[in-house]
Structure 1
Amino acid sequence: MENIKTFFKKKNIDFFFPVAFILGIVPLIVRMSPTNADQDTLNIFGQAAQFELFSQKKAFLLMIFSIILIALSIVYFKKIFKKTDKIVNSILILGSIFLVFTLLSSVFSAHKQVAFWGIYDRAEGFITIACYFTLFIYSIYAFRTTNDYKCIIIPMFILVGINAFLGLFQYVGQDLIKSELGSLIVGADKLNLLYEKGKLYGTLFHYNYVGSFAAIVLPILFGLTLFEDEDIMYKITLGIASLLSVWLLFGSTSRAGIIGISVAAIFAVIIFWKLIIKKWKPLAIFFITIIVISVGLNFATKGAIFERIPGLITDTFSVFKDTSDFDYRDHTPVRDLKYTDKDVQVVLQNETLKISYENNNYVFKNSKDEIIDFVKGDKLYTTANDTFKNITFKFGKFAPGSTRNDGLLLNIDGAPIFMFVLKNDNSMHQININSKKDIDIVYPETFGFKGKEKLGSMRGYIWSRAIPLLKDNLILGSGPDTFVFRFPQNDLIGLYYAYGTPNTIVDKPHNLYLQIALNEGIIALVAFLGIMIIYIIDSIKLYALKKDYNKPQIFGSLTSLGVIGYLFAGIFNDSVVSVAPIFWIVLGVGVALNYMNRNKLVK
């Protein structure tokens, strides 16, 4: 160990380099992995929760790398940890509060395994969040000079380039990850990735998270392209990476990314106003180029590039509409399910369909107890009755080892809607299609968004059901990654209205701040917001409305724009292990650059 220490003393080794390695590797990992899902998880997701593709290996490698960073920090504590002032100390204190309350929420969670290790398809438990915090602290202290900035720019080049390349094939419907070679690389024989042609996700799990990624990297790469004057090849490379980031933004069709970039652009105008006036010609040329390329791509893809922007505008105006008298149950084929004795009653808009099991056969009646003639075919019941003709039933042996037809699947317009199990006493009860467990419809407490449940791709629905849960999270949350257990998954009629099927699982709040408040608690959220507010105000004070910028100030100001882009995209997206490490590293670098620039001002 002493020899290693001597080596580091003699050589000017850059302690920030490991961060570059993590930044360039972790978001690219895609590998089929077992999840060790607990029974609560299997009850919601079914057997599909036993394996996943995008998160488990990322989280595992992030944990290994974070342990290495902690070891380096312990061995070279005096050499690394030198930054200290009032603002850095305030950020560290708030960060510690955030981490402590995240830990306490995990310890006292009713779902400890998930709270510590994360859930299927996300893997963002306390261990992963602690790794984020490790990256954040290490980045603050290991980032020493402006030369270290290339240690985040070069990995960004790699991430943008690879995701843009994969995204092109995904966009045209020839996903390389789902190809025979791709399946071999990721360790899966058959992949059922539910992403349609015309969207890209790269290696970042979902096209929405590509938007969050673009919201971080595009302001940084684009700004450096404008400021770079010394190395023409580096400027060209930055320009290409910026254009590829634009492609990722629009190719993903992520409205959250567009909002993040738009707000970052507003802050950029505020910060660089004097410089914009001074250099308006190259800026105008660049923006015109971006517009021409974007419009050309939109034309070539028959409007697919801008397809979600009209929806964003429509959603914005719909917020102000009066929908106080709206009842979503008036707009679903089924209003309710009821049980009377051994029968099930499916309450439709203008009728009620009663289902019972009598004399070894299913019997169907209307609200007047008149028998409806559903004809038994090859595992399918159909009827010519005009009132019920869009309803069919499929029956079969659902329970393992069953010797009789013990299940009935209700289809509306050919789509599976409700599943019922036939008990031993010939009574019927609804079961979850995934887990085959008994369920009952609930009508949960809601807050706001009445008549606006479909706002923002159903975010209005999710938020209206999630906000009332906050009253139970004033001190601690339910534990990281446990949102799926808190959300009223049995709000089947609400799900039916919002998603067109009641068999949707809502596993995330689609809002970074709701995610933190519900999972880690409101105190943790206040601490998180405190860090962000201190950092952004400090950045504005340091960089706004200057006539000229030196290199550290350029890096500091552009980094703050990347952080702002991610935070505003977070209004519509949540944290995910595919993108969050990038954010926490960039935030740590931003705090370090602000510290360096503050010290120069003081001197």
Structure 2
Amino acid sequence: MRPIAEKLKEKLYVLPIVLIAAVVPLIVHYKKINLSEVVASYWIRDYNTDFFSYYKVIFLLGFSLLALITFYIYFRKEAGKKLKKTAYYYPIFIYLIMILLSTFFSKAQLTSLQGFPDRYEGMPVLIAYLLITVITINLFNKKEQFEFLLKALLTSAVIIAIIGLSQFFGYDFFQNVLGQKLILPGREFAELSTAMDFRFEGSNILFATFYNPNYAGSYFSMLLMLSTVLYFFARSKKRIIVLAAASSFIFAAWLGSLSRAGILGAIVSTLVVAVILNKKLVEKYKKVLILLLIFLAVFTIMDIYTDGSLRKEFLSLGTETQLAFMGETAQIKELKSEAGYLHFKTEEEYLRFGFERENDFQLIVLNESDQKLDYSLNQSEKEAGYFKFEDPKLAAYRFKVLESENNDNLILEFKYGNKTAEFLYASKLNGFFIIGMRNNVYPLEEVESLGFEGKEMLASKRGYIWSRTLPLIKEKPILGYGPDTFAIFFPQHDVVGKFKYFNRSKIIVDKPHNLYLQIGFNTGLISLAAVLILFGSYFFRNLKLYLTCKFDNYYTEIGLAFLAAFTAYAAAGFFNDSVVSVAPVFWIILGLAGAVELRLKNYP
């Protein structure tokens, strides 16, 4: 039996990694950041008010530096000056080199270093991910160390889940006095507390400490698989009860995020685990059945509370899959300026909006037969000042005309269904332009796209983003554009595309909604290949390992839990990108998985 002092020392070595996994995702605090002129031109204003990323980055980098120091001490005193031998270092090293080169040659070098607003995944953060992975592989050797991290990680996950569920049930922790005092600076509390509102469109949806429900989905799918596999192997009554309770809270938060990427990740991971465990699931059917019944009760309660929205969300997955193969067409087929008219074409009608110069620039609207359409003021209080067509078949259209700062020009405020845009009519040019973010004016043109034609609406408009991202990757395939520079180089001037597919013309696309496209875009295809080799080699080597495993010791059991968590995140990554709120936990889990694999290889 090892002395207590030795056990304490081993835990101190891994403490910085534990703090990254358990504390960083919990951090929420206000920070006002003045933006550089270049970044501000892509943002809604000259500064950013950040709650969910900036301080996470600060603590991540601080804990990573502390981890490096403790690793150095361990390396000098304990490890005999030898790193553990694993082929995983090679793709990690290649990815590291490409991050450095991509940053050095980036045309947006400052953003590559600092990261983009609300994200801050610049070069130092990406390097920190790789650093903590290598350190975790080497520092975690004993059961006490793994248990120390798992207890801290699951405790953190349950706290985050409870915060998220408070949002789901309409009692957002961050909106009450205690929550606001924790996340707002005292000197500005009175001013900020009344204006703070994190609510997303719709109701009964949670974002926890991640701001975006999609990121909550990635996090909770990863932790759900980790906790449920640990529950499956738990033997003591106390451990079974604790893990069942933890899994239930995490499951509820996973549901409440309403993230289809998170749902996909958990489903794929569950299938992999089911294939591996196979007959063992039948052998322990009672334990499995108990947890499934608890999950069913949680689902039923939450579904009743939301009037069936959870059930509808899961049932809609089949429709989404069908649309992925068939394609989902956009409502707007054509939008252009020609011969002094704004041409607006849908499946049902073809309208032209223009101004009669001789009649003091009176707005006229023509149909496909060149007939003038009658319109009148909308009597609806909600849309006072807007005109509507007399023809009830055209009820989706609402519009009004405003004078611009230049008296020679006019602005047509236009609504079609739930789509909104502003068009500038330049009288001297006798043509229309579309107004984008920060009231910049753009011609009515679409940009180059690659793939996903007719499927731009796929996966909540991800098809549109991917189709505009792929041509840019083709232009800079080796080094990419620099870490976290996606928003800078994405064609933000494609305001027509945004209006057609996102409903709003004044919106910024700051992420690709795909982890792998994100890597390829930011740091190049060589780094993407390195990451795919790293992920693929780990997954298939461990799948082979656990398919023939008897699961008769602690390390095989937690090893499968780590594989399940890895699979959930990697699968969700096809529809979600990397973010500092979640990614550090994933890279630590990958490091833990590597450490377990090496232990099983050396001590089967």
What TM bracket, shorter-length normalisation? 0.7 to 0.9
- Distance in 2, matches of 1:524 and 1:22, equals 24
How much does 1:198 deviate?
Answer: 1.2
Matched, 1:226 2:232: yes
Q: What TM-score do you get using the length of structure 1 for normalisation? A: 0.87
| 493, 513, 516: which one aligns with 2:516 | 513
For residues 213-362 of structure 1, the aligned pairs below 5 Å read: 213-230=219-236, 232-321=237-326, 328=330, 331-332=331-332, 335-338=334-337, 345-348=342-345, 349-355=349-355, 362=361
Which residue does the alignment assign to 2:402? 395
In the alignment, residue 125 of structure 1 is paired with which amino acid?
A: G
Q: Which SS does the other structure have where 1:410 is aligned?
A: strand
Maintained 8 Å contact 2:165/2:253: no
In the alignment, residue 537 of structure 2 is paired with which amino acid?
A: I
- Distance in 2, matches of 1:539 and 1:461, equals 35
Percent identity over paired residues: 28
How much does 1:120 deviate?
Answer: 1.1
Q: Which SS does the other structure have where 2:363 is aligned?
A: strand
- Distance in 1, matches of 2:119 and 2:260, equals 21
Q: Which SS does the other structure have where 1:45 is aligned?
A: coil
Q: Which SS does the other structure have where 1:307 is aligned?
A: helix
Q: Deviations over 1:80-137 (max 9, x none)?
A: 6566565x1x211210111111121122122112111111111111111111112111
| 46, 63, 66: which one aligns with 2:64 | 66
How much does 1:350 deviate?
Answer: 1.9
Maintained 8 Å contact 2:121/2:483: yes
- Distance in 2, matches of 1:294 and 1:370, equals 55
Maintained 8 Å contact 1:511/1:572: yes
Maintained 8 Å contact 1:43/1:437: no
How much does 1:503 deviate?
Answer: 3.0
Matched, 1:97 2:104: no
- Distance in 1, matches of 2:426 and 2:534, equals 55
Which residue does the alignment assign to 2:109? 112
Name the CA shift for 1:553/1:370 in 2 (closer, same or farther; >3 Å).
closer
Aligned length: 579
Which residue does the alignment assign to 1:3? none
- Distance in 1, matches of 2:418 and 2:212, equals 25
- Distance in 1, matches of 2:315 and 2:567, equals 24
For residues 124-203 of structure 1, the aligned pairs below 5 Å read: 124-187=121-184, 188-189=192-193, 190-195=195-200, 196-203=202-209
Q: Which SS does the other structure have where 1:162 is aligned?
A: helix
Maintained 8 Å contact 2:408/2:426: no
How much does 1:433 deviate?
Answer: 4.2
Name the CA shift for 1:104/1:531 in 2 (closer, same or farther; >3 Å).
same
How much does 1:12 deviate?
Answer: 5.4
- Distance in 2, matches of 1:228 and 1:516, equals 37
Maintained 8 Å contact 2:442/2:495: no
- Distance in 2, matches of 1:217 and 1:376, equals 54
How much does 1:258 deviate?
Answer: 1.5
Maintained 8 Å contact 1:353/1:366: yes
In the alignment, residue 337 of structure 1 is paired with which amino acid?
A: K
In the alignment, residue 41 of structure 1 is paired with which amino acid?
A: V
Q: Deviations over 1:399-436 (max 9, x none)?
A: xxx8x696624122587733355779687763644312
How much does 1:497 deviate?
Answer: 3.1
How much does 1:319 deviate?
Answer: 2.8
Q: Deviations over 1:242-271 (max 9, x none)?
A: 111110111111111111111111221222
Name the CA shift for 1:413/1:206 in 2 (closer, same or farther; >3 Å).
same
- Distance in 1, matches of 2:371 and 2:276, equals 73
In the alignment, residue 263 of structure 1 is paired with which amino acid?
A: V
Maintained 8 Å contact 2:435/2:505: no
| 435, 438, 454: which one aligns with 1:435 | 438
In the alignment, residue 482 of structure 2 is paired with which amino acid?
A: G
Matched, 1:458 2:458: no
Name the CA shift for 1:226/1:35 in 2 (closer, same or farther; >3 Å).
same
Name the CA shift for 1:385/1:405 in 2 (closer, same or farther; >3 Å).
farther
- Distance in 1, matches of 2:238 and 2:576, equals 35
- Distance in 2, matches of 1:595 and 1:124, equals 30
Structure 1 window deviating more from structure 2 (242-251 vs 289-298): it is 289-298
Name the CA shift for 1:279/1:553 in 2 (closer, same or farther; >3 Å).
same
For residues 343-422 of structure 1, the aligned pairs below 5 Å read: 345-348=342-345, 349-355=349-355, 362-366=361-365, 380=385, 382=387, 386=391, 390-395=397-402, 408-412=411-415, 417-420=420-423
In the alignment, residue 275 of structure 1 is paired with which amino acid?
A: K
Maintained 8 Å contact 2:7/2:144: no
Q: Which runs of 5+ in 2 are unaligned?
A: 185-191
Q: Which SS does the other structure have where 2:402 is aligned?
A: strand
Matched, 1:535 2:533: no
Name the CA shift for 1:546/1:431 in 2 (closer, same or farther; >3 Å).
same
Which residue does the alignment assign to 1:25? 23
Q: Which SS does the other structure have where 1:572 is aligned?
A: coil
Q: Which runs of 5+ in 1 are unaligned?
A: 1-6
How much does 1:554 deviate?
Answer: 1.0
Structure 1 window deviating more from structure 2 (197-206 vs 292-301): it is 292-301
Q: Which SS does the other structure have where 2:603 is aligned?
A: helix
In the alignment, residue 594 of structure 1 is paired with which amino acid?
A: E
Maintained 8 Å contact 2:18/2:153: no
In the alignment, residue 167 of structure 1 is paired with which amino acid?
A: G
How much does 1:535 deviate?
Answer: 1.3
- Distance in 2, matches of 1:9 and 1:327, equals 61
Name the CA shift for 1:488/1:300 in 2 (closer, same or farther; >3 Å).
same
